[in-house]
Structure 1
């Protein structure tokens, strides 16, 4: 019997080493972590913009109410659509509306409340002055 000695030669470009594979996995993990964080920030901003829009619509409703009744007394706060209602409490008055003044707010709930520490609660009054209850340096960042 003859034995055949077969030399298997490995070429240098035949595949990946374990180290190369681990480096690629680490890079993909880092990029994924950055992408997820950025995505979540954009979701928070999008929901905040929808809440701000709802609050501005509420202010317009209040102005129509005042035009009809010459007072804000007995006005009821408007409601928002389901998308906003899923992440914010319904708009409510801060205190009780007076004859010529009111202040309305919309408060984040659930995950929106924990993730949106920059703006938090959004407010608007009869003069159109907008505010926020978070750590933002100006209301312009939130509206």
Structure 2
């Protein structure tokens, strides 16, 4: 009488648990990096919105020799939200004859961007926050 040896194939529970642990560690490292990357990517929307509004303000000044009377409507901005609604454009205060300050306020999921938060730009090109990371 011959005995037939059955060979079993598959993974042991230990092998599966090790794999799950490795995937968990990789995810714990990768997810925060990915989140920061997404926030930084949307930050460019706010910068573009500020730059466009600043160019329109300068055009208004060139035509009127003053910033007085410049509002988002008078400079031709009908929608103060960025393309993906991540930022809203505002005049930080009423424009004077020689000065203005524009700001973009984060909306929705972009409020998690605590590195930069609300960004502003004035007529002299001064940027807040001053961190270079916020403006690249």
TM-score interval, normalised by the smaller of the two chains: 0.7 to 0.9
**Deviation of the 1:25 alpha carbon:** 1.2
Among 97, 100, 116, the residue aligned to 2:98: 100
The match for 1:141 is 133
Q: Distance in 1 between matches of 2:110 and 2:2?
A: 69
Choose 1 or 2 for highest CA Rg: 1
- Structure 2 stretches of 5 or more lacking a match? none
In structure 1, what is the Cα distance between the partners aligned to 2:127 and 2:82?
A: 23
Relative contact order (alpha carbons < 8 A, sep ≥ 6): 1 or 2 greater?
2
| TM-score, structure 2 normalization | 0.84
TM-align CA RMSD: 2.1
- Of 92, 95, 119, the residue aligned with 1:122 is 119
Cα displacement (A) at 1:82: 4.9
> Which runs of 5 or more residues in structure 1 are unaligned?
133-137
1:42-71: CA deviation from partner (whole Å, max 9, x where unpaired): 110011111112101111111111000101
Is the alpha carbon distance of 1:102 and 1:82 closer, same or farther for their aligned partners in structure 2, counting shifts above 3 Å?
A: closer
